[in-house]
Chains A and B, each alone.
Chain A
Amino acid sequence: MANIMIRSSDKGYVFYLPKRDLEASIESIEFDTPEKWGGELKLDNGGSYYIEPQVKPARLPISLRARRLGAVED
């Protein structure tokens, strides 16, 4: 599990992993409705992460716990 931060920009959601100073755009998010938000995140750098689906946060950015799916990207 890793601490990540999700913020919104004019180009959509941006993923940030402070531990590794990694910033990437989120290409797709599994659930994106007000009631259910989260799931699998696909990043533009090829990585993917999973966050527990939850109610869409009222305000971004937000820090969350995420699980890495697939191989480590560098």
Chain B
Amino acid sequence: MAALTREETEALIQEVLEVYPDKAKKDRAKHLMVNDKELESSKKCITSNRKSLPGVMTMRGCAYAGSKGVVWGPIKDMISISHGPIGCGQYARGGRRNYYVGTTGVDTFCEMNFTSDFQEKDIVFGGDKKLAKLINEIELLFPLNKGISIQSECPVGLIGDDIEAVAKKAAAQINKPVVPVRCEGFRGVSQSLGHHIANDSVRDWIISNRDGQAFEKTPYDVAILGDYNIGGDAWASRILLEEMGLRVVAQWSGDGTLAEMENTPNVKLNLLHCYRSMNYISRHMEEKYGIPWLEYNFFGPTKIAESLRKIASYFDDRIKEGAERVIEKYTPAMNEVIAKFKPRLKGKKVMLYVGGLRPRHVVGAYEDLGMEVVGTGYEFAHNDDYDRTIKDMGEATLIYDDATGHELDEFVKAMKPDLIGSGIKEKYVFHKMGFPFRQMHSWDYSGPYHGYDGFAVFAKDMDLTLNNPCWKLIQAPWTKPAVEAVQEAA
């Protein structure tokens, strides 16, 4: 049962659109839909990956964020230079909580901010010299780095610096890969193009580095793609794959290394968790090296079991038995988790607004706990994401693409969910409105949420948030009577 009927949901969309001027209304109407499971393609009902409407609040990031923040940043033994003014890197630093093992500043570098710190004179005279100097400095101070990537910020593209030339020269000098990435923030409509650009630069500068070199293969080699080890996610996934008998050659890119990425063309199967950010390189490896790729979902026991079996179907009986063994081993523990938390969470309604893969992937985990996702949406999805979402969502649920601040507020007010899962930009507004809220980009300082271990943490977190007595005590400041406000001010 959805929270609202199809007609009610449609009426709600119309009501929310009412406040916009005609042109904006027409544009935004295309980004909102009521789910219809019968549909094969989302194309007719929802438009996505379009420029955000000027004048409304959007929750999107930029191409630089997609490349540096998501794809390149978590590679632990490479140094990613934020090339341009200092702010882009500094304000985004460490925000995604990509865990890794290593000694920061010695052999691993994710938490540090390397930047060329552009000043006015660099804009006027160009930043190439500074970049070359910076690379030498890095080499001197951090000799254990395995390679360098240059992440362009907006000004680099605007002033027309030739970072490719600098990169080539530097690479020859230091004898390590130096990768120029043209991910200036103004490219594309969201961080999504940044993922694509980052994938393309991996394809052009990294993936074929070890072609023709000897590698000790086994028939059970796989790579994890699109897992950024947020709060330890990739670790919780990796142990399951290893327990079923597979050998994980590479993790892309959470807690991953350059060597792992270079070795990936040797695997038998690429396992793709975040389709949005790494489908590009998977497609490339499929074409060039004949490695098939498989989308899987490690949120919640139902989906995990399904995924483990799907993965095993690509291998022989040993792995198939391994998958069954793993599922059997963890089922009692999972049943305990469900027995404990389901009674406290059953029937509760959730609204999501996240990016990447989560708006559809976490639905199964909520359903395992007896909860229902009544509305979902992506910040920067494309139509292929919505095609995949339609099947996972309940009938008549609300779906919103690149939702604006106004739309989210109004949807929440009308649908009154018991829990909202979204990002840091939405968090405090909904807190003030008195809605239980989880930050679902980096798990609100918790995690992991992937895998069986992750599900236990997930269930506990949802319970802690949802059943916290504090929500009832909150009254939004803007709904307090005016008199009180005056008295307070006095």
Contact = CB atoms under 8 A, between A and B. Distances in A.
28 contacts: A5-B283, A7-B283, A7-B286, A7-B287, A16-B283, A18-B196, A18-B280, A18-B283, A21-B49, A21-B196, A21-B382, A21-B384, A22-B382, A22-B383, A22-B384, A23-B383, A23-B384, A23-B387, A24-B41, A44-B40, A44-B41, A45-B41, A59-B290, A61-B283, A61-B287, A62-B287, A63-B287, A73-B43
Contacts of B280: 18
Contacts of B442: none
A26 B49 CA distance: 22
Interface of B: 40-41, 43, 47, 49, 192, 196, 280, 283, 286-287, 290, 382-384, 387
A74 interface: yes
Contacts of A61: 283, 286-287
Nearest to B193: A21
Interface in A9-68: 16, 18, 21-24, 44-46, 59, 61-63
Contacts of B192: 21
Given A22-B383, A62-B287, 14 more contacts: A5-B283, A5-B287, A16-B283, A21-B196, A22-B382, A23-B387, A44-B41, A45-B383, A46-B43, A59-B290, A61-B283, A61-B286, A63-B287, A73-B43
A16 B387 CA distance: 14
Contacts of B382: 21-23
By secondary structure, the B interface counts as helix
Nearest to B286: A61
A48 B287 CA distance: 23
Nearest to A44: B41
Contacts of A22: 382-384
B286 A74 contact: no
A25 to B, nearest CB: 8
A16 B384 CA distance: 10
A71 B290 CA distance: 34
B391 to A, nearest CB: 13
Contacts of B196: 18, 21
Contacts of B43: 45-46, 73
B48 to A, nearest CB: 10
A3 to B, nearest CB: 12
Contacts of A63: 287
Q: Which of B41, B43, B49, B384 has the most CB of A within 10 A?
A: B43
A47 B459 CA distance: 44
A62 B290 CA distance: 10
A67 to B, nearest CB: 21
Nearest to B30: A74
A44 B43 CA distance: 10
Contacts of A21: 49, 192, 196, 382, 384
Contacts of B286: 7, 61
Contacts of A16: 283
A22 B387 CA distance: 12
A74 B48 CA distance: 9
Contacts of B384: 21-23
Contacts of B47: 74
A14 B330 CA distance: 37
A30 to B, nearest CB: 22
B236 to A, nearest CB: 29
A28 to B, nearest CB: 15
A46 B43 CA distance: 10
A45 B286 CA distance: 24
Contacts of A5: 283, 287
Contacts of A44: 40-41
Contacts of B387: 23
B376 to A, nearest CB: 20
A45 B387 CA distance: 11
Nearest to A24: B41
Contacts of B287: 5, 7, 61-63
Nearest to B200: A18
Nearest to A18: B280
A68 to B, nearest CB: 16
B46 to A, nearest CB: 11
A5 B192 CA distance: 20
Q: Which 10 A-B pairs have the closest CB atoms?
A: A23-B384, A61-B287, A45-B43, A21-B382, A61-B286, A44-B41, A45-B41, A63-B287, A5-B283, A59-B290
